[in-house]
Structure 1
Amino acid sequence: MTEEYSEILPQRGLMDGIASLVGVPVEALRLLLTILAGYPVAFVYLKFIAGINDKKVHHLFFAASGAGLCYFNYGSDTYHSLLGIVTTYFLVLFLRKKTQIFLTLNFVFHMSYLLLGYFFTSSNDYDILWTMPQCILVLRMIGFGFDVTDGLKAESELSKDQRETALREPPSLLELLAFAYFPSGFLVGPQFPYRRYQSFINGQFRKHEGSFEAGVRRFGAGAFYLLVCQVGLSYFPDSYFLTPEFAEQSFIKRIYFLGFWAKFSLYKYISCWLLTEGALIGIGLTYKGKNKDGEPDWSGCSNVKLMLLETGNTMEHYVQSFNVNTNQWVGQYIYKRLKFLNNRTISYGAALGFLAVWHGYHCGYYMTFLMEYMVVSTEKQITRFYTSVVLPKWGEVLNNSDIYKLLYFIALKSYNICFMGWCLTAFVFLKYERWIVVYGAVNYYGFTFLFLWAVFYHTYRTLFRVSSRKPGGEDERPVESKTEEKKSQEQISGEKDADDKKSE
């Protein structure tokens, strides 16, 4: 936190004393207490408010409790989020029928305000300031703006996702405040559309039982991950990887230490999301439908897929299992809205670019999302090569070898651990002067691997494409080479109506 900014924060002697006693920053303590406050808020609501017929009381309860928790964390800086909500409300009120103007102004206002906030408050570390809930609010208000304009379109013009979130009538200011400040949702996410909040307020989810038990289980998982995170980072603190001591370890130790550190660092976010989700489940907001056993499914606001996260073997598995709701938001409101470009690569790059800008100015964010794009693309190339070249020739022998199966498992898990460390380094250390030191300490192995694979893969494809053509013109390339261009074209054209196909 910048020194200038810390001077204007309200002093809280009691909280400072408790934070010093337990050995954590006071901002982190307030953040944790605010997340945990979602549970008593859920209890009070279900005990005293849920049965009241007047919906204004419900909205007032959530708006007041959420804004109060925001003030507990950020004091007078709560006005930043309040200003953003009120601005969107009046933009909707006066400009929603002028779709392009409204969407542009709403998007530019929120992103500009957030980026200005980053500019004036950011430091070399992660700052628990008003910009944290503000970045959640930015996505919520931008998505809300799209939902409002979707509500002006005919049903036939909307995709499946848009039909589920479109708003035919915009809410009142009180309703919008309650939605934006919803406890256990405004601080660290997750993202959810206004239609979900509306259904919850209307009592559509309260007829289903089991939310209390599901919420307790999620709370237990969150507490467990928080404990593992604290213990793990006590052995591998961030500062260790900037020391000569780390650089003097053997190469194998260095890349594995970095990988385990990354897992523990990731658990910091996961524990917050799990604790938040537990409160949201307990209050009954997260109903998703019936599962395969006919029981209520309370995973509608799940921000992490634990099974995939812990059993996955690739970086793509991490992408699919981590910060799920934000990724879904970007997919629905950024990626799919760029269909008119007719190019999935550009749309995907734009989505990742938006995420990087949304996080802030630090170059570590941009390096992280660049690595995500490059690593996931490389993984797809390796998978195609393995399934189309290796398996057709040696698949029967390899699949019958227990030694190969063991080596295959060890290789995947080692890759999973080591590349997780590589990919998360820039995201945590943020500044070039710091993450480049860590990259150098591990001999830039990530760059080396990606470069060597790219040389091999493109050389192989070039040589094989030339040597596989007969004089008569018949193409003997493998299936992977023959169909790649066709698949690319089919993906581009098929993307246009993918949502409607899913709904069928």
Structure 2
Amino acid sequence: MATESGSSCTGSTLLQPISEMINLPLDQVNFVVCQLFALLMAFWFRLYLHPSKTSTFVRHMVATLLGLYLAVFCFGWYSLHFLFQSGLTYCIMLFAGAEHMHKYCFIVALGYLSLCQITRVYVFDYGMYSADFTGPMMVITQKITSLAFEIHDGMTVKEEMLTASQRCFAVRRVPSLLEYLSYNCNFMGILAGPTCSYNDYIAFIEGTAYHLKQLESNGKENGKYKQRDPSPKKDVIYKLCVCAASLLVYLSVFRVCSVERNIQDDFIASTPFYLQVGYLYLSMLATRPKYYFVWTLADAINNAAGFGFNGYAKDGTPRWDLISNLRILDIEFATSFKMFLDNWNIQTALWLKRVCYERCPYNPTVATFLLSAIWHGVYPGYYLTFLTGILMTLAARAVRHNLRRHFQGSASLKLAYDIITWVATQIAICYTVVPFVLLAVSPSLKFYRSWYFCIHIICLLLVATMPVKPRHLRPKDTSEGPAPPQTEALRSHPAMDSNSNQKLKTT
């Protein structure tokens, strides 16, 4: 009931009557209303606090104060954790020295996040999401650690030792306290992110972002369409329509297709296996629209404020996907495990790549999945999902490198390959993610036992019987799907010279 969930909400109770009227938990009502308020403030911020009309100090200050207000409204005194985590790591940046502070910031920020997650889960409300102040802390942790590594790269590492992306995002000085708090706690991203690079955020605040994004159209400089300040109106309206559709689908379908139904004894005993597979797909499909709603709304808020511009398409259309967190069609029609992951929670995938995958000397794939599990929280289901994900990734890689070339001889074979891999990918994703939704060990293992661990066994056999060449001996392959928006942006970033436009590795 809304009143029960509302009683555990640590934020404002101003909207309690609305919560009771529509029978939704108060913390969810607070979140949506605050995001809609942030959307209105974003338009005002772009139009009336434009860099040409006011100073960067004012823009930083307003963005920070509005963000902290929204945090207090949603989470009450729990929002102090955001300031404490940011303040603690800022002191490390100032006093630890650039050579090692990225390691200290990483350990402290992730450790503090984990401590808060343990406290929330095992002391307050296991399995509940009311007043989940650790959600914003997850994004703040990404920003803190990203900036720490970027400062380390910019102040201690020789430029020729950096990868193309590291050179692009390197930061040459420790930011001021106001800049740091604005980056971590601004009103556009305080509640739902997404994360972004520090350089991109500062370029947005200073009003230089549009100057950095110049693409060419039809082999000529895009002067015909080029504007200093392109409007995000069309993209914002489109993304709000996606939000409305996602919310409608979630509210209408999710209540009918419950994930818990997959582990009910009567369902397992009386339902043929092929129908269990179909229901699993539908039930997991029904869980995704809530993420589509939250992430797309967050993207629209940033765009409305003028943040997220990513240059121009060849036809002169402005692109507002710099910090987009997902591509829905590429997710729903993914034909490989990797393609799904590349288009789901894009900014988190890029964060994992930059702070872990590119820097880990041993088993970067395993290390990246484990870091993702730790960052998500302390529920055992998260670890079951990401440990299974390691196996899925290795098996998918083995199949691709050994079988794909046999289906490239004709259009009909390619179509057959795409259909088979789409079905296999969707089943594998659903099978992998069930523990992520169920959270606990017992129901998760019950689900896997009902499937006789068959996909685990198949993946083990594939990995054991299909050799995969070491990464440095493999031919470059770009056909698994489009690169993330940031990868495309790097090709035209001013920090990239003509010799550094290499394709970035993806996790």
Q: Provide TM-score, normalisation by structure 1.
A: 0.83
CA contact (8 A) 2:64 2:185 kept: yes
Equivalent residue, structure 1, for 2:444: 435
Relative to structure 1, is the Cα distance of residues 400 and 158 closer, same or farther in structure 2, using a 3 angstrom cutoff?
closer
Relative to structure 1, is the Cα distance of residues 253 and 209 closer, same or farther in structure 2, using a 3 angstrom cutoff?
same
The 5 A counterparts of 1:315-394 are: 315-338=337-360, 341=361, 343=362, 346-387=363-404, 390-391=406-407
Distance in 1 (CA, whole Å) between partners of 2:462 and 2:161 is 44
Distance in 2 (CA, whole Å) between partners of 1:28 and 1:119 is 22
Q: Does 1:414 align with 2:389?
A: no
Distance in 2 (CA, whole Å) between partners of 1:151 and 1:34 is 36
The 5 A counterparts of 1:152-171 are: 152-153=155-156, 154-171=158-175
Give the residue type in structure 1 aligned to 2:118.
Answer: F
CA contact (8 A) 2:435 2:444 kept: yes
Equivalent residue, structure 1, for 2:26: 26
- Of 220-229 and 249-258, more deviation after overlay is shown by 220-229
Cα deviation, 1:65-96, whole Å, max 9, x if unaligned, reads: 00111111110111100011112222222233
Work out which of the residue numbers 153, 178, 182 in structure 1 matches 2:182. 178
- Of 120-129 and 136-145, more deviation after overlay is shown by 120-129
**Gaps in structure 2 of 5+ consecutive residues:** 211-227, 476-495, 503-507
Report the Cα offset of residue 416 of structure 1: 3.3
SS in 1 for 2:271: coil
Report the Cα offset of residue 6 of structure 1: 9.2
CA contact (8 A) 1:260 1:417 kept: no
Distance in 2 (CA, whole Å) between partners of 1:240 and 1:150 is 49
Cα deviation, 1:33-78, whole Å, max 9, x if unaligned, reads: 2333331111221232224332211111100000111111110111
CA contact (8 A) 1:263 1:420 kept: no
Equivalent residue, structure 2, for 1:114: 113
CA contact (8 A) 1:124 1:431 kept: no
Relative to structure 1, is the Cα distance of residues 284 and 19 closer, same or farther in structure 2, using a 3 angstrom cutoff?
same
Report the Cα offset of residue 189 of structure 1: 1.9
Report the Cα offset of residue 285 of structure 1: 0.7
Distance in 2 (CA, whole Å) between partners of 1:171 and 1:355 is 27
Equivalent residue, structure 1, for 2:234: 213
The 5 A counterparts of 1:469-484 are: none
Give the residue type in structure 1 aligned to 2:81.
Answer: H
CA contact (8 A) 2:385 2:433 kept: yes
Equivalent residue, structure 2, for 1:64: 65
Relative to structure 1, is the Cα distance of residues 442 and 17 closer, same or farther in structure 2, using a 3 angstrom cutoff?
farther
Report the Cα offset of residue 412 of structure 1: 3.6
Distance in 1 (CA, whole Å) between partners of 2:118 and 2:197 is 29
Distance in 2 (CA, whole Å) between partners of 1:124 and 1:75 is 20
Q: Does 1:305 align with 2:327?
A: yes
- Of 134-143 and 20-29, more deviation after overlay is shown by 20-29
Relative to structure 1, is the Cα distance of residues 410 and 182 closer, same or farther in structure 2, using a 3 angstrom cutoff?
same
Report the Cα offset of residue 174 of structure 1: 1.3
Count of aligned pairs between the two proteins: 454
Give the residue type in structure 1 aligned to 2:120.
Answer: T
Report the Cα offset of residue 304 of structure 1: 0.4
Equivalent residue, structure 2, for 1:147: 150
Q: Provide TM-score, normalisation by structure 2.
A: 0.82
Work out which of the residue numbers 423, 432, 436 in structure 2 matches 1:423. 432
Distance in 2 (CA, whole Å) between partners of 1:55 and 1:180 is 16
Give the residue type in structure 2 aligned to 1:228.
Answer: V
Relative to structure 1, is the Cα distance of residues 124 and 415 closer, same or farther in structure 2, using a 3 angstrom cutoff?
farther
Give the residue type in structure 1 aligned to 2:371.
Answer: F
Report the Cα offset of residue 405 of structure 1: 7.5
Relative to structure 1, is the Cα distance of residues 242 and 24 closer, same or farther in structure 2, using a 3 angstrom cutoff?
farther
Cα deviation, 1:304-335, whole Å, max 9, x if unaligned, reads: 02231122222222111100011011101111
- Of 134-143 and 83-92, more deviation after overlay is shown by 83-92
Q: Does 1:490 align with 2:473?
A: yes
Report the Cα offset of residue 446 of structure 1: 2.2
CA contact (8 A) 1:277 1:301 kept: yes
Report the Cα offset of residue 246 of structure 1: 2.4
Equivalent residue, structure 2, for 1:465: none
CA contact (8 A) 2:239 2:296 kept: yes
CA contact (8 A) 1:88 1:106 kept: yes
CA contact (8 A) 2:302 2:308 kept: yes
Distance in 2 (CA, whole Å) between partners of 1:90 and 1:451 is 46
CA contact (8 A) 1:205 1:284 kept: no
SS in 1 for 2:340: helix
Equivalent residue, structure 1, for 2:17: 17
SS in 1 for 2:115: helix
Q: Does 1:192 align with 2:192?
A: no
Report the Cα offset of residue 252 of structure 1: 1.0
Report the Cα offset of residue 12 of structure 1: 4.6
Report the Cα offset of residue 28 of structure 1: 2.0
Distance in 2 (CA, whole Å) between partners of 1:443 and 1:255 is 13
Cα deviation, 1:216-253, whole Å, max 9, x if unaligned, reads: 11121122122212222121123323423422222111
Cα deviation, 1:167-226, whole Å, max 9, x if unaligned, reads: 222221112111111223122221101111110111124623131211111121122122
Distance in 2 (CA, whole Å) between partners of 1:324 and 1:441 is 32
Identity %: 21
Q: Does 1:131 align with 2:134?
A: yes
- Of 223-232 and 272-281, more deviation after overlay is shown by 223-232
Distance in 2 (CA, whole Å) between partners of 1:387 and 1:417 is 18
- Of 201-210 and 218-227, more deviation after overlay is shown by 201-210
Distance in 1 (CA, whole Å) between partners of 2:419 and 2:159 is 51
Distance in 1 (CA, whole Å) between partners of 2:87 and 2:460 is 49
Cα deviation, 1:372-413, whole Å, max 9, x if unaligned, reads: 22112212222233245x55xxx76xx486xx7876565344
Q: Does 1:240 align with 2:238?
A: no
CA contact (8 A) 2:398 2:462 kept: no
Distance in 2 (CA, whole Å) between partners of 1:126 and 1:266 is 18
Distance in 2 (CA, whole Å) between partners of 1:107 and 1:409 is 40
CA contact (8 A) 1:259 1:420 kept: no
Distance in 1 (CA, whole Å) between partners of 2:314 and 2:196 is 23
CA contact (8 A) 2:326 2:345 kept: yes
Give the residue type in structure 1 aligned to 2:373.
Answer: A
Give the residue type in structure 2 aligned to 1:37.
Answer: F
Relative to structure 1, is the Cα distance of residues 445 and 260 closer, same or farther in structure 2, using a 3 angstrom cutoff?
farther
Cα deviation, 1:256-314, whole Å, max 9, x if unaligned, reads: 11111112212221221111101111211101222232332211001102231122222
- Of 407-416 and 157-166, more deviation after overlay is shown by 407-416
Distance in 2 (CA, whole Å) between partners of 1:256 and 1:162 is 43
Relative to structure 1, is the Cα distance of residues 49 and 378 closer, same or farther in structure 2, using a 3 angstrom cutoff?
same
